[in-house]
Structure 1
Amino acid sequence: MKKFLLASAATALCANAALAGGHGDEIKIGVLLGFTGPAESIAAGMAPAAEAAIQEVSESGLLLGGKKVTPVRADATCVDAAAATAAAERLITAEGVSGINGALCSGATGAALMNVAVPNGMVMISGSATSPGLSHMNNEDNGLFFRTAPSDARQGVVMTEILREAGIDEVAVTYTNNDYGKGLADSFQAAFEAAGGTVTINAAHEDGKADYSAEVGALAAAGGQRLVVAGYIDQGGPGIIRAALDAGAFDTFHLPDGMIGNAITDRFGTEINGSTGQVPGTDSPGAARLAEMGEAQGFDGTAPFAAEAYDASALILLAMQAANSNDPSVYKEKVMDVANAPGEQIYPGELAKALEILANGGDVDYVGASAVELIGPGESAGNYRQIEVRDGKIETVKFR
């Protein structure tokens, strides 16, 4: 880690000089997601949404006097801190980006932020990193980090509400052994027990194993009315579910955000009917508009974290316009301003209008696709879509 920090510090002066120059008529935005690894199917839904906002702004010709904006993808892998650090380093020092949308997973986000973004003074806005531990980094991030996805401190409460309302008072918990999994599992256990529930076991699992029978044996022995699987949709989470079904240990599951997507029902279908879960989302007008935009442009605007990814890009670009600068050390001060009232409310497809208002000295309240409201040190207030698997499909039950 020290080597990366030194490398980043050594290149900071060069990178900041490039930023001050504005990259001529082009501004680059990094899209740092886990394109490979345990959440790659989630990244596949997020990236085109993140890039749709960038394209919308670029085509408007209204950003900072007519600058074009180009997305640059980089793979943070979700599970390899060194890879995440190297990917962020490339975006800043080789590509000369002026902001980073990402990363996807919490561990990768923390590594890229503290090893690279902070030493280089780079703004990062994540649409999916949810670990409560990232909130504590706000004391060290120099005001550079924001997120449009809510913290798992909030998700733990929402999970508790869903399960208790369903009459579930005893659960077993298994979590992927990293920042995301442990943070969510601990937040949930605290909330569930405070609400009178019992967590019979709270045990880690490692990703990438071929056989999870031993883990499922321990979970089954502890018992519970439902198994909470705080894992990744493309890694150990499905392995746990498969082993639990084969052993007859559990037949319904609770699925947090990292486990929700078409990949899970494509794999299990009706086998997991009655399973529940939640993922960030709203039934706001902005969510409907992004869904329409996605249909027209060939991406799924309703995919998990797609709304938050679109909003992350939009906030970066609107903050630049508000600050009249693409220098992160300058426009970081405007992110909270454009995200919150007062000002004219702005939804997906209206970024040109927002840019015009800001250029004329007006104020905007960016509501976006996820009903954006930033609180505290750049945290999302948090909205969730409650789901249930019915007839082998993910169905929306309500919004919270």
Structure 2
Amino acid sequence: MGVFTTARRSRFRTVLGGAGLLAASALVLAGCAAEAGEPATDDNTSAPTTPGEDLALKVGTILPQSGALAFLGPPEEAGVNLAVQEVNEAGLGISVEAILRDSGDTTTDIATVSVTDLLSQDVSAIIGAASSAVSLTVIDQITGAGVIQFSPANTSAAFTDYDDNGLYFRTAPSDVLQGEVLGNLIATDGIATLGLLVLNDAYGTGLAEFTSGAFEAAGGTVVAEELFNEGDTSVDAQVSALAAADPEAVAVITFDQANFALPALVNAGFTGEQLYLVDGNLADFSGVFEDGLIEGAKGTLPGLDVATLGDFQDRLLEVDPALTDYSYAAESYDAVILLALAALQAGSTDAAAIAAELQAVSGGAGDGEKCNSFAECAELIAAGTAIDYDGPSGPITFDENGDPTEATIGIYQYGADNNYTRIN
């Protein structure tokens, strides 16, 4: 097929092409989102550093070491640790200390406890959470304290115009984009009727809404949508309802609940080719399921394929040799690099000062010289040159709401070993 374009929402232009939908990039426009307020300050943020003195930036993380997204914790923390190592090794006017804490999930209060601990240690920024629902439980606590919250994986559209005092940023694109890509992928595959199995939280219901909208706009019909709650250990009733509706395919919008949801769907008669996954559950299931259980299933994942990024994967493995999944590692790495560059640009580790420079160093101000590493960008800043950082997660380019305005959604497919590879 030739290239065709959809524009279901004014803030997105998604280009889809090739033999069906294989990958997509999008330009996220400002639209009519509310303007962010002025960044807040508080006594727990670091005071501006004396000119000429090396900056000492302290950041915390609330990334999942436990809970439904624990499989994302290792690559995200590896991305953070690699960035910290490279900034410190560069010796270009700033050092970074990272304090790693757990976010848990919405069945616990771990995130609140972790944030309280990190705020007591005078961090300038907190990286995380991975879960949009978890971030929504602590965003007021973080930004209300005058500290930056910077997520590498939040995709809920709720953050775009959230009243965050200009202190919330993310390197992952909104689910408006992923939903559009997923819905069009399913339609392009020739599916006419769709069922959805959905985690009932901000991430799940938001992504389901945008997926359904795109699928129906492409001519398909959603015949069933079944919700379940965080903490549920079975989705048998929901799967039975989906089977009764007899859709040609099912979009599985979950976190690690896919470990029991996918076998239940297969047992109900849905084959791998009828299943579509998302970033929250696109994981390596080799050794988890019997061979071939979900062969042919497809899924979407924001970001570039780490395996194609030169030596970035090798550098991650030097930090954590046990890594087998790289989801959101690049986005976590870029979060740290951008914070360090914004601090250098501001000449300060004050959170409000850093936040005021994040859009500029990402290229969102509309000018700046392209640079692709911390060292290269830091040298340009030292020379008084405006920069536009593009990292392993992509161009980024923040808008005034702290959202990336450019993003890539990869399309992946599962093989007989129940692991996924990018098909474009």
Q: How would you bin the TM-score normalised by the shorter chain? A: 0.7 to 0.9
Counterpart position of 1:55: 85
Counterpart position of 1:43: 73
**Same amino acid, percent of matched pairs:** 28
Question: Of residues 192, 198, 202 in structure 2, which corresponds to 1:175?
Answer: 198
Question: Of residues 104, 108, 128 in structure 1, which corresponds to 2:134?
Answer: 108
1:267 to 2:288 alignment = yes
Deviations 1:14-62 (A, max 9, x none): 413x444799974311121121100101111111111211121122221
Moved more, 120-129 or 265-274: 265-274
Question: Of residues 248, 253, 259 in structure 2, which corresponds to 1:238?
Answer: 259
- Cα shift at 1:339: 0.6
Cα distance change of structure 1 residues 257 and 199 upon mapping to structure 2, 3 Å threshold: same
1:280 to 2:282 alignment = no
Deviations 1:151-174 (A, max 9, x none): 101100010221122111211101
Superposed counterparts of 1:55-204, under 5 Å: 55-63=85-93, 67-80=94-107, 82-93=109-120, 95-114=121-140, 116-137=141-162, 140-204=163-227
CA distance in 2, matches of 1:377, 1:221: 43
Moved more, 281-290 or 239-248: 281-290
AA aligned opposite 2:245:
A
Residues 371 and 387 in structure 2, CA contact (< 8 A), matched pair in contact too: yes
CA distance in 1, matches of 2:324, 2:261: 29
Residues 63 and 77 in structure 2, CA contact (< 8 A), matched pair in contact too: yes
Cα distance change of structure 1 residues 209 and 142 upon mapping to structure 2, 3 Å threshold: closer
- Cα shift at 1:286: 8.4
AA aligned opposite 2:178:
Q
Report SS of the residue matched to 1:59. Answer: helix
CA distance in 2, matches of 1:202, 1:360: 56
Cα distance change of structure 1 residues 259 and 283 upon mapping to structure 2, 3 Å threshold: closer
CA distance in 2, matches of 1:80, 1:24: 41
Residues 290 and 301 in structure 1, CA contact (< 8 A), matched pair in contact too: no
Residues 131 and 203 in structure 2, CA contact (< 8 A), matched pair in contact too: yes
* Consecutive unaligned residues in structure 2, runs of 5 or more: 1-40
Report SS of the residue matched to 2:147. Answer: coil
CA distance in 1, matches of 2:203, 2:130: 11
Residues 270 and 391 in structure 1, CA contact (< 8 A), matched pair in contact too: yes
Cα distance change of structure 1 residues 301 and 60 upon mapping to structure 2, 3 Å threshold: farther
CA distance in 1, matches of 2:355, 2:55: 21
Deviations 1:187-238 (A, max 9, x none): 11111111111111112112333432211101111121111110002xx222
Residues 34 and 43 in structure 1, CA contact (< 8 A), matched pair in contact too: yes
AA aligned opposite 1:293:
R
CA distance in 2, matches of 1:89, 1:290: 33
Q: Which has the higher helix share?
A: 1
Deviations 1:109-141 (A, max 9, x none): 122211x1221111111110111112131xx11
CA distance in 2, matches of 1:173, 1:302: 25
Superposed counterparts of 1:316-327, under 5 Å: 316-327=339-350
Q: CA RMSD in A?
A: 2.3
User: Which runs of structure 1 show a deviation greater than 6 angstroms over 4 or more consecutive aligned residues?
Assistant: 21-25
1:225 to 2:238 alignment = no
Question: Of residues 370, 391, 403 in structure 2, which corresponds to 1:345?
Answer: 370
Deviations 1:312-354 (A, max 9, x none): 111111110111111011111110111115333222xx21221
Cα distance change of structure 1 residues 354 and 127 upon mapping to structure 2, 3 Å threshold: same
Deviations 1:252-310 (A, max 9, x none): 31001001122x34322411011001101226998334224224444559711111111
CA distance in 1, matches of 2:254, 2:210: 14
TM-score, normalised by the number of residues in structure 1? 0.87
Residues 29 and 72 in structure 1, CA contact (< 8 A), matched pair in contact too: yes
Residues 19 and 96 in structure 1, CA contact (< 8 A), matched pair in contact too: no
* Consecutive unaligned residues in structure 1, runs of 5 or more: 1-11
Residues 232 and 258 in structure 1, CA contact (< 8 A), matched pair in contact too: yes
Residues 55 and 70 in structure 1, CA contact (< 8 A), matched pair in contact too: no
Residues 33 and 104 in structure 1, CA contact (< 8 A), matched pair in contact too: yes
Counterpart position of 1:15: 44
CA distance in 1, matches of 2:421, 2:98: 33
Cα distance change of structure 1 residues 265 and 182 upon mapping to structure 2, 3 Å threshold: farther
Report SS of the residue matched to 2:393. Answer: coil
Counterpart position of 2:228: 205
CA distance in 2, matches of 1:322, 1:277: 39
CA distance in 1, matches of 2:231, 2:183: 28
AA aligned opposite 1:334:
E
CA distance in 1, matches of 2:338, 2:54: 22
Cα distance change of structure 1 residues 25 and 337 upon mapping to structure 2, 3 Å threshold: closer
Cα distance change of structure 1 residues 231 and 281 upon mapping to structure 2, 3 Å threshold: same
